[in-house]
Structure 1
Amino acid sequence: MFNDLAGTQVKIKVVDIGANPIDGDPPYGAMLRRGEASVVGFEPNPSALALLNERKGPDETYLPNAVGDGRRHTLHVCQAPGMTSLLEPNPEVLDMFHGFPDWGRVLERVEVDTVRLDDLPETAGIDMVKIDIQGGELLVLRNAVERLRDAVVIQTEIEFLPMYKNQPLFSDVEQFLRGQGFVFHRFFPLISRVFKPVMVGGNIYGGHSQQVWGDGIFVRDFITFDGYSDDKLLAAAAIVHNCYDSVDLSLRLLKEYDRRRGTNLGSTYFDAFSGGA
């Protein structure tokens, strides 16, 4: 873990929008268990929220709000809970792939009130934002400009095909975040699917040629380091190391910290992970 290698005591604050544990351990999970992170999570699904609260530790807070633009929206509840969205599924695209026509079938439409991240005091002073809400990510980000000024790492679901009608795609999200001072770092993960009727190994989940969606990792500008306080450099270095194994970027951030402070954390870190000391 980063603190062990760099000899630091960094603790980060995470906001997780769409914190449903359906996908398993979040990328910051190890930091949370070590007391090196706190999280404010949002999950409007009652059963998922109950599970989060049942399992939570002392550094975890979970709220039932749907995050968006502060207005009322229609929630499209789908056969597969992971497809439920404020946006309507797009049959023209879903029909190209195995499974999705069934998973994206809308069972009911429910009116829900949303909240803006900028309006919630619980989200002040964040370091990392994670968003996975099936096409509503850009809506959240556009209404979180104040909070984004504090953040140094954003992990957001992105899609390359409009799985939902009028859905913003990767290029839209990247362009907006670039305007907020973030640089695209990597995909984590990147998911492909195979066009029907082809199937890979009899597995409807199998991928092949078409990249469909993934999570995009965006980091505050690591070219000029504009917008970083000294503490935020350490927070970003800890996040990219612990969550994404980006040791090279972590080292770059530490070297900027050392340049400002006259310290030697970068060398300590490099020697520790490379076996040089």
Structure 2
Amino acid sequence: MRAIWQRYCEGKEPAALTIDKQGEARFADDEHPMHLLHPATEKTTLEEAEVFRFAFEGKIVTVDNGSILTSTPGFTNLQKLGAFATIAFDPSSKVKNAQQLQQQGELHHYPHVVLGDGQDATLHVCLDPAMSATLEPLPADEQLSGNKQATRVIARLPISTLRLDDIEGLESVDWLLLDNLNDSLAILESGEKALANTLLVQVRVNFFPTHQNQPELTQISHWLSRHGFSFYRLNNLQHYSHQPKRDDLLKQQATQLIGADALFIPSQQRIETLDTHRRAKLAFILHSVYQIHDLTFSLLDQEKTSSGEKYLESNGYLKKTNPTINEKQKARVYINSGKPKICIGVPVYNEESHIHETVASLKRQNIDGIKFIFSDNASTDKTYEIAKSLSSDDPRFEITRNSENVGAADNFINLFKDSSSEYFMWLGAHDCLSENYIAETARILDNNKSVSMACGYPFGIMNGRAFGPVEEAIYDFKQPSPADRYLSSVATLSNCTVFHSLFRRKDLDGFEFRKTISMDHTIISRLLWKGILQYSENAKYFRRYFQKRESTVEERILGREGSLERNDFFDHHISDLEKLQGAQRNEKLIKKVEMILKSRFK
């Protein structure tokens, strides 16, 4: 999907797409694979989320033995970046949410399978599952006191090991992670071919052994140095405390180093031979996983372009050459004379936790002839007061309040009906826009009459963290035929962030607003009948996602308890399609749309 989107943004005609074994996307009329653009790691604030972009071919092929990466909470964030293809061998079945993780990104999960020398082995199941291993635990009298019970074996199960070089279709590995509970040295010795071009190796090592024959750091380092790697640093240091665990202790100190993750990168001689894309992949791993910025800069700077300097600026090591947002705002006076060209409608209900970010992002829109209209739907918190206060110094804002909760549907609809402008856009009250988002999307509509919907690159926010781009929110609705675009939207729309596109108000002339489930689907399909969807790479839409909602969809739409029937949604869609067709009614298209709707939204 990312490859299709990038081709679309480059203005190229559609072509057949193939994906090879390494995950590289190649179009039929291109000599080389598509250079995929990837975001940097997550940022805490939206201003920080104006991220430096890495570009390289294909995905980063990652092999995770023991699931030390896949079982961590941070793996979900890596999945969302869309840059990794991970193969996880999970001998003790630690990963319980594999199916969920596979929906978020490319993951091949193999429970009760482990890398090794290809011989049969034994899985020693311990009282603490985190200590289960193919290496046998040391006797209790050789363990630290905290591990005596944890390493007690309660079962022994047969398990086969797999040689890294024998994995069919795995020609090379970009990033290898090895745990400390299986024979890392045997894995390396059985994977010389697969590791010939590896960019980074992470090996968990013990400085106080817990299992028999755990390879020492010196052994691992010696093998890797003979195969073109250099030790870089220790990461994720683990310490043991000799203090007793007592309730009356005000604090605990742990000073004995018992384990760490050793990082190995290609030797300097090998780094100098890396091509642009492999160097970019290594830089991306160092930045997004380990927050190593100095070596990342060094790798990017070797390209003799400005990418190294841009990276330093993006990550706060250099002062930005452009004026800051606040400086530009202080020097800017906004003038609205008469009817605004653009209206941004913001339906609001109980958003006191997020409304300040939404208002701030709109104040960063450096554009005249615009109105930001907030309709507070009788919030029971301080949303209205906060929005009123924060926007009081900007004449482009208009904050209104309903005397009672009319439901989300009517609040959305009234914002459109009660405003007047050439262009219109609905903005979620907990969502945010990148700087100059409106100017960028308006420019698309101004310059291309075939475009009916203009929007930015879709990002997400969850638990205060920005991430993205969100691949499932990117669509290719560029078909020349209105019917084809309409049909494509009916068949594929799922994540409807594109509903928040800027569009021409006249394209909804004659549209009958109805309070139905998924009314946004019907509106998007109608707008696509009028023209194509166009993304701006210079604009980002930050949509906030919630893990759980207290109210039902019907309660939010209606503003009260009630039920909505799917058949009403189907009827609304078909009725509007018939209006769009006018006298040129296409019964075959209508029946096809109806069939797809009912099969997708039963």
State the TM-score bracket (shorter-chain normalisation): 0.7 to 0.9
Aligned counterpart in structure 2 of residue 87 of structure 1, from 127, 135, 145:
135
1:125 — aligned with what? Answer: 172
Alpha-carbon RMSD: 2.6
Greater C-alpha Rg: 2
Partner Cα distance (1:7, 1:209) in 2:
40
1:109 aligns with 2:167: no
What does the per-residue CA deviation read over 1:115-160, in whole Å, with 9 as the maximum and x for residues that have no partner? 0111113533321111225142222122111121121011221111
Alignment CA distance shift 1:239-1:211 (3 Å): same
Indicate the SS of the match to 1:56.
helix
Partner Cα distance (1:162, 1:19) in 2:
20
Q: 1:15, 1:41 within 8 Å by CA — same for their partners in 2?
A: yes
Aligned counterpart in structure 1 of residue 312 of structure 2, from 270, 273, 276:
270
1:12 — aligned with what? Answer: 60
1:143 — aligned with what? Answer: 190
Q: 1:135, 1:168 within 8 Å by CA — same for their partners in 2?
A: no
Task: Give 1:93 deviation, angstroms.
Answer: 6.5
Q: 2:228, 2:270 within 8 Å by CA — same for their partners in 1?
A: no
Partner Cα distance (1:52, 1:90) in 2:
31
Unmatched tracts of structure 1, length 5 or more: none
Task: Give 1:165 deviation, angstroms.
Answer: 1.6
1:162 aligns with 2:209: yes
Task: Give 1:275 deviation, angstroms.
Answer: 4.3
Greater mean deviation of Cα atoms: 161-170 or 236-245: 161-170
Q: 2:241, 2:256 within 8 Å by CA — same for their partners in 1?
A: yes
Q: How many pairs does the alignment contain?
A: 266
What does the per-residue CA deviation read over 1:173-224, in whole Å, with 9 as the maximum and x for residues that have no partner? 11111222112222220011134xx326669xx6623211111111112466
Please give the residue correspondences for 1:231-250 in structure 2 after superposition, counting only pairs within 5 Å.
Answer: 231-250=277-296
Q: 2:70, 2:95 within 8 Å by CA — same for their partners in 1?
A: no
Alignment CA distance shift 1:186-1:49 (3 Å): same
Partner Cα distance (1:86, 1:140) in 2:
12
Q: Percent identity?
A: 23
Q: 2:71, 2:95 within 8 Å by CA — same for their partners in 1?
A: no
Tell me: higher relative CO, structure 1 or 2? Use CA pairs within 8 A at least 6 residues apart: 1
Please give the residue correspondences for 1:1-277 in structure 2 after superposition, counting only pairs within 5 Å.
Answer: 2=40, 5-10=51-56, 11-19=59-67, 24-26=72-74, 29-46=76-93, 48-49=94-95, 51-57=97-103, 58-64=105-111, 65-91=113-139, 94-98=142-146, 100-195=147-242, 198-199=243-244, 208-222=254-268, 225-226=271-272, 228-256=274-302, 258=303, 262-273=304-315, 274-277=317-320
Partner Cα distance (1:49, 1:191) in 2:
22
Partner Cα distance (1:193, 1:86) in 2:
24
Residue identity in the other structure for 1:268: K
Partner Cα distance (1:216, 1:6) in 2:
27
Alignment CA distance shift 1:120-1:264 (3 Å): same
Alignment CA distance shift 1:93-1:191 (3 Å): farther
Residue identity in the other structure for 1:199: P
Task: Give 1:50 deviation, angstroms.
Answer: 5.2
Alignment CA distance shift 1:49-1:131 (3 Å): same
Residue identity in the other structure for 1:267: E
Partner Cα distance (2:136, 2:319) in 1:
54
Indicate the SS of the match to 2:202.
strand
Indicate the SS of the match to 2:188.
helix
TM-score, normalised with respect to structure 1 = 0.85
Unmatched tracts of structure 2, length 5 or more: 1-38, 42-49, 321-602
Alignment CA distance shift 1:129-1:242 (3 Å): same
